[in-house]
Amino acid sequence: MPVTVNDQKLLEFTKDVFLTFGVSQEEAHICADNLVTADLRGIPSHGVARLKRYVDGMKDGTILPLTKPEIVRETPSCANIDGKAGLGQVVGHFATKLVIDKGQKTGVGIVTVYNSNHYGIAGYYSHMILEAGMLGISMTNSAPLVVPTFGKEMIIGTNPISLTAPTKRNRPFFLDMATSVVPRGKLEVYDRLEKALPEGWAVNSLGKVTTNAAEVLKNMTARAGGGILPLGGEGELFSGYKGYGMSVLVDILSGVLSGGAFGDLVNRKGPQGEKIPADVAHFFMALKIENFVDLDTFKEKMDEYIDRLKNSSKADGATRIYIHGEKEYELYDKHKKSGVPLDDKTYATLKTIGEERNVTFEL
């Protein structure tokens, strides 16, 4: 049964854990806010359940929390950043502030990042661009967790894409999606709950569809074959090659364009099999809408488009057509009022982290 906790208490606890590693108050808040925001939006795969991942990374030296991102190449509209193997959320926040500034000044801002770490939900950064009044894009590559179409070896990441666009009357358009059928975190949720995976999410070491979450996760950790399927699923029948292509697109813009790692070079082991920084890469874009069309006109057209989508004919038995981001916005409002649900294993893990880091656990 899930445990319901207050989001502000959860935020303070998570922030305090990051503070034990010597980061600043601002950086600890950025990291904690990113994780708790995911839970508030109903994305537990990227919420505080991931806290142990960051704690372990800071302990084993694959995440260097005290380093600062560095701009290594820059023009009025573009920049390339070395993340210095720091906390991905801190690096992502720094890059997004920079891309917003460039977008506002030049009309189009583009920033690439290499040598970073997992930065949480992609939508956290595109939403920052949205709040600055622009159209925002955020994407990142990730550790190889996905098999290419007709393959059985993890060689590409779940590589998410997020795009946000402002509106007047409706909630903003807010796309935040993996280019795989699901992110790894979804498999971890099913494993924690001891539930069978839906058919078509993942394959075993032979490249055949399996519903065993524990088996898939074990194989992924051991690099024994198998993994998550690209968006569209197995083979060509439901166009799995399109999700495969989208994942490669993200890798090109994030990893190749930044001069960083891509594909199975992300989160690789050292020469002696030792753990080394993940070298995750990101891509951010901010578009100043007024450089293309009057801002009010854009917002009005977005509202009209959303209205036409939502008011179109519904399938038999369906009561509503959703727009990307709607469910997340509604869950955010709900969880702000009623609390954030955490499964019992996540709750227990947080308690253990609190004990290890000597942080008061009162949720």
* Whole-angstrom distance, CA of residue 146 vs CA of residue 148: 7
Higher pLDDT, 272 or 298: 298
List the CATH code of the domain at 3-295.
3.30.1370.60
Note the pLDDT of residue 189. Answer: 86
Torsion of CA 104, 109, 112, 113, to 10 degrees: 0
Note the pLDDT of residue 352. Answer: 98
Instruction: Say yes or no to pLDDT of 1 above 80.
Output: no
Note the pLDDT of residue 185. Answer: 83
Pair of tokens at residue 265: 């070079």
Mean pLDDT of 234-254: 96
How sure is the predictor about 16, in pLDDT bands with cuts at 50, 70 and 90?
very high
The model's pLDDT over 307-359, given as tens digits with 9 standing for 90+, comes to 999 999 999 999 999 999 999 999 999 999 999 999 999 999 999 999 999 99
Mean pLDDT of 151-174: 97
Instruction: Say yes or no to pLDDT of 62 above 80.
Output: yes
Q: Are the C-beta atoms of 133 and 100 separated by less than 8 Å?
A: no
Q: What is the distance, to the nearest Å, from the Cα of residue 225 to the centroid of all Cα atoms in its chain? A: 24
Q: What is the distance, to the nearest Å, from the Cα of residue 219 to the centroid of all Cα atoms in its chain? A: 22
How sure is the predictor about 6, in pLDDT bands with cuts at 50, 70 and 90?
very high
* Whole-angstrom distance, CA of residue 199 vs CA of residue 217: 15
Domain boundaries, the chain: 3-295
* Whole-angstrom distance, CA of residue 162 vs CA of residue 129: 11
The model's pLDDT over 204-228, given as tens digits with 9 standing for 90+, comes to 999 999 999 999 999 998 889 999 9
| Per-chain mean pLDDT for the chain | 96
Note the pLDDT of residue 105. Answer: 98
Query: Of 290, 303, 295, 291, which Cα lies nearest the Cα of 172?
Result: 303
Note the pLDDT of residue 184. Answer: 87
Query: Of 362, 353, 355, which Cα lies nearest the Cα of 51?
Result: 353
How sure is the predictor about 152, in pLDDT bands with cuts at 50, 70 and 90?
very high
Question: What's the full length of the chain, in residues?
Answer: 363
Please name the residue that has the structure tokens 């996905």: 146
